[in-house]
Structure 1
Amino acid sequence: MGRSNSSRSIRRRRARTVGRGIKAGLAPGTMVFVGERKCERARLDILDYNAEQLSEAKDVDLNQCFEQALADNSVTWINVNGIHDLALIESLGQHFGLHPMTLEDLVNTTQRPKVEEFDHYLLVVMKMMEFERSSASISIEHISLIVGQNVVLSFLEDEGDVFDSVRERIRKGKGRIRHLSADYLAYALMDTVVDHYFRAIEQIGDRIEEIDDKILEDPSPNDIQDIHYLKRDVLSLRKAAWPCRELISAIEKGASPVLSASTRVYWRDLYDHSIQVIDMVETYRDILGGMHDTYLSSLSNRMNEVMKTLTIISSIFIPLTFIAGVYGMNFENMPELRWRLGYHGALAVMFTIGVGLLIYFRRRRWL
């Protein structure tokens, strides 16, 4: 089924990138928010835990955030919702000793996914994706992680994220997350992001099957628009997945002091997941490339069927029209003009010719 006009209008709208031109000529490390503001104000949420205890606070102030992150016997996860607040980001950077170039990357939503190692922390930049059924499209959000010895800072554009499953594991103490260090928490967050790549790809695959079946049965002009939108979504996934493979490989092979040897195996597993994502993206990219040709072929076959039917009808009526034209001239000396059964005879001849042509076309398998 083709999607509604309202859904198409939603998908035609592209996010307006704000601030890109302002950066021109500024010194490296200058903080300029590049992107679209998606929430009214920035908010800080904290999860602090170890194997025995857990504390959680939402919408806290900076002082409480700094005090919570001082404990050495626990892992602190600070989630920042809204990276448009440059003063807040700068205060966090000063407290945790973040490099100015890191702060610049945190507020630049157009930054390509990457990983950078510093003396006491690791910077990871990724793209978080979810498939929105309302508009049948993929929503993309910029996400950055700062991984320290006992702290992880996550920076998001908006309040919504895909980390509810990780929070639930921490609250209920499921798995190893409460017993391992901050780098395992970073792995869990990145693994969740990659898992949602799989979900987005699966939704795209279902949509591709629907459109493919419709193209073969009843192609319409709306199908070519749907194919174009899916191509754009797959391209967005590809842009996010390819650098993701590189950054995970760099983390797995890196020698950052914030990464423990016990988590190496998990990074290798995450690298395998990223390879699977890329393989699926490339497969669907090839399928979409062929669907355009399939659409044109279906239209051509449908037109050929229509033209064949019209040609057969025309072929049948051409001799009948000829007979009717001859006997419709009404010349006075036409020999058959005075026949009593001339009208019925002419109809019988025309009927016989029409049936004969139908039988001939069917024997030739033209019908």
Structure 2
Amino acid sequence: MSTFTKRYHPPGTAPGTLVASDSAVPLSIRLITYTDTHYAERTLSDPIDAVPWLDVEATSWINVQGNVPPDVLQQLGQRLNLHDLALEDVLNTGQQAKLEDYDEQLFVVMHCPSLDASGALQLDQVSFFLAPGVLVSVYGQAQDLFEPVRERLRRHHGRLRRRGSDYLLYRLLDLVVDHGFPVLEHYGERLDALEDEILAQPTQQTLAGMHRLRRELLWLRRLAWPQREVLSQLLRGDCACITPETRLFLRDSHDHTAQILDLVESDREMIASLLDVYLSSVSHRLNESMRLLTIIATLFIPLTFVAGVYGMNFGNNTHGAWAMPELRWDYGYPMVWGVMIAIAVGMLYLFKRKEWL
């Protein structure tokens, strides 16, 4: 599972050094150029092949998915004049979300949350380069994140084809942010299941499930906080690549990150409450067991006393003045049993009357 764990370069590595990623996803490159009246989509074998197709009159979107060789990325960076430090961060996955302004270019790092086959949280880095008329997106996961946006471009839905590359960046950022809502919905279902399990029959697996969910919510919180800061920077108006019209739409994505943070905090508080309920339930079960053991011990106190008295070995002097008269009775033994049973039944009746049983 991909988390925020950072892969560091060896000490002394020069800034801007590109290190190959460990993604096993095959490289896939798509170039999309579009205007209000034109749309073209091409699959390329090399990102460098996209450069001759770039049209200054159209918006161009280069989507690079999978394992990008460092030399290929470096050549693409040279052709598009991308900053070396930004290229380094593309391959150095594990970065926190951030925004870098390189004069006429923007470099944005985001993380897309998803769930793997086992239901565990997976965080995948998505990098964007924005320049006038050009957007480059790079990510290493196998899932095709941006197919909904491509489909809207193909069908000419809404204002997407009429806007520039900054609006396309907004749509992709919004799509990445919105991936957090299905994850939180899944967490809500897990919380409901944990609550039912705690109220019914909690086990050690219940406690482990709560701690695992709390850890994943912490990761999701660490994801959402810097992403909200990135969107805040885009809204401030300091970035020349973002038009005022696009900033109006970026507010919606910023609100979505705030909603995600609120939901994460709510789920974390819910887990804390469930943990208290779990501990109370375990304590209650322990108290019930201790009460049962106490009742059993209390029952045997008078029985032990009776058995101890009549179990004293004074049978050799049964005719003395201080001898136990019951030792000479024919029915002494069953009488003692009757007394002990009567005491036990009486105490059980008393416990039942006081609702201790």
TM over 0.5: yes
1:27 aligns to what?
A: 14
1:276 aligns with 2:264: no
Counting aligned pairs with the same residue, the percent is 39
Asked whether the equivalents of residues 131 and 199 of structure 1 are also in contact (C-alpha less than 8 Å), the reply is no
Long gaps (5+) in structure 1:
1-12
Q: CA deviation at 1:366?
A: 1.9
- Cα distance 1:128–1:14, how it changes in 2: closer, same or farther (>3 A)? closer
Asked whether the equivalents of residues 75 and 182 of structure 1 are also in contact (C-alpha less than 8 Å), the reply is yes
CA distance in 1, matches of 2:148, 2:350: 69
CA distance in 1, matches of 2:295, 2:206: 30
Long gaps (5+) in structure 2:
319-323
CA distance in 2, matches of 1:14, 1:242: 18
CA distance in 2, matches of 1:16, 1:233: 11
1:316 aligns with 2:305: no
Q: CA deviation at 1:209?
A: 2.5
Alignment counterpart, residue 71 of structure 2, candidates 87, 94, 110:
87
Alignment counterpart, residue 182 of structure 2, candidates 199, 217, 225:
199
Residue aligned with 1:162, SS = coil
- Cα distance 1:129–1:161, how it changes in 2: closer, same or farther (>3 A)? farther
Alignment counterpart, residue 45 of structure 1, candidates 30, 47, 65:
30
1:127 aligns to what?
A: 111
Structural mapping, 1:199-218, within 5 Å: 199-218=182-201
What letter corresponds to residue 203 of structure 1 in structure 2? H
Structural mapping, 1:71-82, within 5 Å: 71-82=55-66
1:359 aligns to what?
A: 349
Residue aligned with 2:293, SS = helix
Q: CA deviation at 1:283?
A: 2.1
User: CA RMSD, aligned part only?
Assistant: 2.4
143-152 or 78-87, larger mean C-alpha shift: 78-87
CA distance in 1, matches of 2:63, 2:343: 83
CA distance in 2, matches of 1:141, 1:329: 80
Structural mapping, 1:96-135, within 5 Å: 96-132=80-116, 134-135=117-118
Q: CA deviation at 1:108?
A: 1.4
What letter corresponds to residue 131 of structure 1 in structure 2? L
CA distance in 1, matches of 2:2, 2:244: 43
1:159 aligns with 2:142: yes
CA distance in 2, matches of 1:125, 1:14: 15
- Cα distance 1:148–1:356, how it changes in 2: closer, same or farther (>3 A)? same
Q: CA deviation at 1:205?
A: 2.2
What letter corresponds to residue 163 of structure 2 in structure 1? L
Using structure 1 for the length normalisation, give the TM-score: 0.87
Q: CA deviation at 1:15?
A: 7.0
Deviations 1:106-126 (A, max 9, x none): 111122211122222211101
Alignment counterpart, residue 218 of structure 2, candidates 220, 235, 249:
235
39-48 or 230-239, larger mean C-alpha shift: 39-48
2:205 aligns to what?
A: 222
1:347 aligns with 2:337: yes
CA distance in 2, matches of 1:64, 1:21: 30
Residue aligned with 2:126, SS = strand
CA distance in 1, matches of 2:33, 2:310: 100
What letter corresponds to residue 39 of structure 1 in structure 2? A
Using structure 2 for the length normalisation, give the TM-score: 0.89
Deviations 1:22-43 (A, max 9, x none): 2x2223223234x5x1225432
Asked whether the equivalents of residues 83 and 155 of structure 1 are also in contact (C-alpha less than 8 Å), the reply is no
1:8 aligns to what?
A: none
The count of residues paired between Structure 1 and Structure 2 equals 350
Q: CA deviation at 1:289?
A: 3.5
1:337 aligns with 2:327: yes
